[in-house]
Structure 1
Amino acid sequence: MNKSAYFIFFLFTAFILGCNPEKQEKPNIIFVFADQWRAQDLGYMGNTIVKTPSIDRLAEESVVFKNAISGCPVCCPYRASLLTGQYPLTNGVFYNDKPLNPEANTIAKIYKKAGYETGYIGKWHLNGHEPGEETFEARLKFIPKERRQGFDFWQVLECTHDYNNSFYYEDSPEQLKWEGYDAIAQTKSAIKYIKEKSKGEKPFLLMLSWGPPHAPYQTAPEKYRQMYSPEDIDIRPNVPEELREKAKTEIAGYYAHMAALDDCLKDLLVETENSGIKENTIFIFTSDHGDMLYSHGNVKKQQPWDESLMVPFLLRYPEKFGDGQKVIEAPVNTPDILPTLLGLSGIEIPETVEGKDYSKIISGEEKPESESVLIQCPVPFHQWNYARGGREYRGVRTERFTYVRDLNGPWLLYDNVLDPYQMNNLLGLDEYKFIESDLDEQLQDWLTKTNDQFLPGNEYMKKWNYYWDRNDSIQIQ
């Protein structure tokens, strides 16, 4: 073969390889999560009062996890499990304002090793604070680079819910301020990051962590608060009569935050289109946990009822799954998020990760190994501490059932299909004895798998050398 023939063969081969449809670049990851947005309050989940048109449109072209569960439904434990793919009793973050080990193997470190740019904007809540240090002062401190868990681009504050007077740090201890309502300003920064990184040669991982719709509920921008009146709010039937008016007022404000965030999400989605990265970007929208909002007479999170446990989870990846909707009924838990993203990205899953990779379940190549996910509260604290009725529990959530034990034995059993508001505890009924037994076996399997001895909360506090905050340890026997 002469030189000309070799040259033509080389060009032809390069052209064929370059056009190979199986040759794909690694996807970008845009991971957007709100704080305390329960799954029940979205249009695509059947709520006709809350206005979430952008999220609803995203759901039409996403993988929709109908039973996405925050397995330890409270801020810091969720975030630590999200970053590590581990359960709280493995990574040690089972109580708010306790630090995630700076040496942990986390999502940003793993993706950086695979050649990604990494960025984080918004609420962090994994830095913790020292014994004797006041919690809310510690939440305003600068977080040095060695405690950022591998994120390079950094516009973060540990935690605040003062959304209209909100601060953050970058690479120095100089305190900067978000202009106006912080979620809107943070979204603008995320859009700028996406514009810049979409022009680069490397894929990127960006996590955007909004503080709303977490309380205070009445602080969204005025135009969004004008969208909802307490009189228009439908109250879940499991809210006691004496709390219904209060619930309506707070939920109206809660929905106002959601409307603001829905507009923020719309702007992010528009930018993925404008930057030309939509097809090869995994776009996630979810939340760290839900909000009881007076269902069962309770507030906030940590609790084993669906208002606390269930979160939205949308995953759009057009290059892999097309532009239509795909519904996954199988329950998915917080530690499963990291391995699933790694599976979709073609990155090896480290041995430190405990969660399940759902990437082949989404594609239909595999079925779930388990029909349940583990739910837990190793240590009740703050709004659900012992004095306020909080208790340690472990349980399982399946597509249909919720089963929970506390330290004294079986506590709750619900058929969530026949009883979607979980108003009828079925424990002890003869017709559910077999189901209770089966769910208890599944729970025991989970406890074995996660090396969980299900001890009183104080034992875990001692093991990790943690101190109790405020009066959380009251009533420990």
Structure 2
Amino acid sequence: MARPNVIVFFTDQQRHDTTGAHGNPMGLTPNFDRLARSGTHFYNSFACQPLCGPARAALQTGRFATQTGVFRNEIPLPEDQETLAKVFSRSGYATAYIGKWHLAGQDPVPQRLRGGYQEWLAANHLEFISDAYDAVLFDEEGHKRKLPGYRVDALTDAAIRYCDAHRDDPFFLFVSFLEPHHQNHTDDYPPPEGYRETLTATQWTPPDLATLKGTSTWHLGGYYGMVKRLDEAFGRLIDALKSLDMLDNTIVLFTSDHACHFKTRNAEYKRSCHESAVRVPTMAIGPGFQAGGQVRALFSTVDIAPTLIDAAGLDIPDSMVGCSALPVVRDARAPWRDDLFFQISETETGRALRTHRWKYGVTADYDSDQPRADIYRESYLYDLNADPYEMVNLIGMPAFREIADDLKSRLLAWINDIEEGQTPTILDAPCRDQRQYRLHPSDLQRDFERDSTLGVKPGA
């Protein structure tokens, strides 16, 4: 069989619970939901850094923010980093990038800062140089190109044209949308005409937004409209692949860089390690992923590059610390990590750890231009079984001290492993009234038996 084509359909700032596969009742994502059922749905998928530039660098390299050096926005991806495009190019694949880049710090993006992609129709700051009905990008020569239609449709059309032109060659195509990210100069979520009104009238509001509100009361209808159009575009791309007789030999991964908490956790839309900012919708179809079912393993941004490279039958570079998820796609009993590591270094400097049940986060007393801190304080602990939308912070309650201590030690192990031997101090949260909370002894057991060491490749 010919080498598979690989396409990444990449949205920006999309919450996991916008999809029917994660319980949204509005029917916004029938294509995502259908293909997640027939392919592989990564049910527990998370951004390792909830911010555009760092998350994108992690996806392209399979490395964490402190390892790439891209720990906040506007830091270019270093030219010497191993990337998805470089791996596929060396293996004889044509490579192309369409849409938002946000890893160069300038527009147009010079060739040396394109991460190794050969063909190019993109912009570093798509939100600054274009609008919903004014899709403007730069071509390989740095010339502005205006594409017709709503911006989601314009990028999708360009992706379909690329697939059509490369029917006889294996290719790796990365299609990066701005939607459902806000349009910066208006601080709005502009959907296609007519969508906002229809979806506002039938709107379902997630519990965290219903309680904490933020800007969701006036933004959610437009946001949902953008999600709906993205799913329609996703369906069009799949239809095009089918009509070109390419679908059976093409891996298509749908994911997002981070999610959106609508200013409920800080004064921004992300930059927080809460589920509303880090949990994203992710699914894959094609060779290696057909009938994979719902995978409950904890999947991180850093796992995407090694997973796609492995699925294409290529060698995963040693520089990538993420893991290929193919073993757990094939067999849910395969060894895998039992916790995830998060970094954040803009708006706040913090670290967090998530298991299947618990979320534990620490922050520094200051924000700085440095990627890490020497001292952190415990900030939050959530029981995700009882409180999936993280409304009740348990940190500092005596009943949960043993849980917090265990999670602290595991977080410190991640920091030491990923951040070049760093071992910061984490100060305990002040003791506070635990009210009605009590733990059964069984609650103190870990979610799974933990590997004795994290190693270079966490969870390998």
Q: TM-score category by the smaller chain?
A: 0.7 to 0.9
What percentage of aligned pairs have identical amino acids? 30
The one of 306, 312, 330 aligned to 1:339: 306
The one of 209, 221, 224 aligned to 2:192: 221
2:354 counterpart SS class: strand
Asked if 1:153 corresponds to 2:84, the answer is no
Once the two structures are TM-superposed, the CA of residue 368 in structure 1 deviates from its matched residue by 3.9
Asked if 1:61 corresponds to 2:38, the answer is yes
- Partner Cα separation in structure 1 for residue 273 and residue 109 of structure 2: 32
The one of 224, 232, 254 aligned to 1:263: 232
Sort the Cα spacing of 1:358 and 1:372 in 2 relative to 1 into closer, same or farther, 3 A: same
The one of 327, 330, 338 aligned to 1:371: 338
Residue 19 of structure 1 corresponds to none
CA contact (8 A) 2:101 2:176 kept: yes
- Partner Cα separation in structure 2 for residue 241 and residue 168 of structure 1: 39
Once the two structures are TM-superposed, the CA of residue 366 in structure 1 deviates from its matched residue by 6.2
Residue 135 of structure 1 corresponds to none
- Partner Cα separation in structure 2 for residue 434 and residue 58 of structure 1: 42
- Partner Cα separation in structure 1 for residue 112 and residue 265 of structure 2: 43
Q: For 1:302-317, list aligned pairs within 5 A.
A: 302-317=271-286
Asked if 1:179 corresponds to 2:143, the answer is no
Aligned AA for 1:237?
P
Q: For 1:4-403, list aligned pairs within 5 A.
A: 24-49=1-26, 51-128=28-105, 138=106, 141-161=107-127, 162-198=131-167, 200=168, 202-216=169-183, 217-229=188-200, 231-239=201-209, 243=213, 246-296=215-265, 299-317=268-286, 319-322=287-290, 324=291, 326-364=293-331, 367-377=334-344, 379-380=345-346, 385=347, 391-403=348-360
- Normalising by the residue count of structure 2, what TM-score does the alignment of the two structures yield? 0.84
1:207 counterpart SS class: strand
Aligned AA for 2:4?
P
2:179 counterpart SS class: strand
Structure 1 gaps of 5+ residues are: 1-23, 129-137, 386-390, 457-477
CA contact (8 A) 1:62 1:314 kept: yes
- Partner Cα separation in structure 2 for residue 335 and residue 363 of structure 1: 20
Deviations 1:333-353 (A, max 9, x none): 111111111111111111211
- Partner Cα separation in structure 2 for residue 193 and residue 454 of structure 1: 47
CA contact (8 A) 2:263 2:270 kept: no
Q: For 1:440-455, list aligned pairs within 5 A.
A: 440-451=408-419, 453=422
Once the two structures are TM-superposed, the CA of residue 373 in structure 1 deviates from its matched residue by 1.0
CA contact (8 A) 1:118 1:151 kept: yes
Cα-Cα RMSD:
2.0
Out of 78-87 and 340-349, give the one that drifted further.
Answer: 340-349
Asked if 1:412 corresponds to 2:380, the answer is yes
- Partner Cα separation in structure 1 for residue 332 and residue 29 of structure 2: 32
- Partner Cα separation in structure 1 for residue 332 and residue 266 of structure 2: 43
Once the two structures are TM-superposed, the CA of residue 50 in structure 1 deviates from its matched residue by 5.2
CA contact (8 A) 2:15 2:259 kept: yes
Residue 134 of structure 1 corresponds to none
CA contact (8 A) 2:297 2:328 kept: no
- Normalising by the residue count of structure 1, what TM-score does the alignment of the two structures yield? 0.81
Deviations 1:82-107 (A, max 9, x none): 11111111111111111001222111
Quick check: which one's helix share is greater? 1
CA contact (8 A) 1:191 1:271 kept: yes
- Partner Cα separation in structure 2 for residue 187 and residue 241 of structure 1: 36
The one of 370, 395, 403 aligned to 1:435: 403
CA contact (8 A) 2:297 2:336 kept: no
Once the two structures are TM-superposed, the CA of residue 449 in structure 1 deviates from its matched residue by 1.4
Deviations 1:228-269 (A, max 9, x none): 12x53233333476847x523200000011111111111001
2:11 counterpart SS class: strand
CA contact (8 A) 1:68 1:310 kept: yes
CA contact (8 A) 1:233 1:248 kept: no
Aligned AA for 2:196?
R
Q: State the number of aligned residues.
A: 406
Once the two structures are TM-superposed, the CA of residue 144 in structure 1 deviates from its matched residue by 2.3
Sort the Cα spacing of 1:27 and 1:356 in 2 relative to 1 into closer, same or farther, 3 A: same
Aligned AA for 1:425?
N
1:265 counterpart SS class: helix
Structure of higher CA gyration radius: 1
2:230 counterpart SS class: helix
Deviations 1:273-314 (A, max 9, x none): 112122221111111000002444754111011010100110
Structure 2 gaps of 5+ residues are: 365-375, 426-460
1:118 counterpart SS class: strand
Out of 261-270 and 342-351, give the one that drifted further.
Answer: 342-351
2:288 counterpart SS class: helix
